[in-house]
Amino acid sequence: MISSRAMHDGNVGQPTPQFDTAEYTNVPGTASCEFCKQTLAGTYYRIGDHLACASCADQVRNRTPKDSHAAFVRALMFGVPAAIVGLIAYAVFEIMTGWVIGYLALGVGYLVAKAMLLGSGGLGGRRYQIVAVILTYAAVSMAAIPVGLSQMREARKARASAGQSASTDGQSLEAPEAAKETVSAGKALAYLALLGLASPFLELQSPVSGLIGLLILYVGLQIAWKMTAGAHVPVITGPY
């Protein structure tokens, strides 16, 4: 017989909550590891969005490469020479052919990133990306310095061949100027370096070609950035 109290409470046919007993939505033994397919009888882990047993989680954790200061230093030791090689190749090609081909920036970005990954053993990350972008930009922009110096040398040769030779009085005036240039060599190099770093934006004096050059350089920087991002490292959480 149903009591009047039960009818009054409206709980007829409904289970009474047990507040002193924990209730779990996942019944132990019903789930399995998504890697080895074994039943998860006790604690388990999550590798990304996948359930995993303790053994599989340990295997994934041990196989994941660990970044270190030594790996980053090796990446620098490989990346800096690669950037120098890229700078030289970029400048030599332009000097020898007289062609300004911005697409070479794509090759420089790839060369720098590939060298850094070779040095780090495939490791990457945010600091690798920042360095790769800096080295790529420096290599491409600073290539303008040897190109500019080559053009200045050719201009002097052209003036000399046209019969523009200095007189005796002129030679006496050139001596202190030469000494002055020797004293300020450091400042001259610093000025050239700043001029080189700014060269991609100075090209905007010709808006169309300048914008195209900046766009190509941006793509080259993107190549270096994406390549040095490193492999995706799975996030392991638990135990649960």
pLDDT digits (tens, 9 = 90+) for 42-69: 788 888 778 888 888 878 777 777 778 8
Q: How far apart are CA 126 and CA 69, in angstroms?
A: 14
pLDDT given at position 4: 45
pLDDT given at position 60: 79
Looking at residue 16, the DSSP 8-state letter turns out to be: P
Report the amino acid identity of residue 235: V
Q: How far apart are CA 42 and CA 39, in angstroms?
A: 9
The edge-to-edge listing of strands for the beta sheet with 236-237 is 50-52, 45-47, 236-237
Whether the predicted pLDDT of 24 surpasses 50: no
pLDDT band at 8 (very low <50, low <70, confident <90, very high): very low
Taking a C-beta distance cutoff of 8 angstroms, is the pair 29, 42 a contact?
no
Whether the predicted pLDDT of 181 surpasses 60: no
Burial of 47-69, coded b for 16+ CB within 10 Å and e otherwise, reads beeebbbeebbeebeeeeeebee
Whether the predicted pLDDT of 7 surpasses 50: no
Q: How far apart are CA 104 and CA 147, in angstroms?
A: 15
Q: How far apart are CA 128 and CA 227, in angstroms?
A: 10
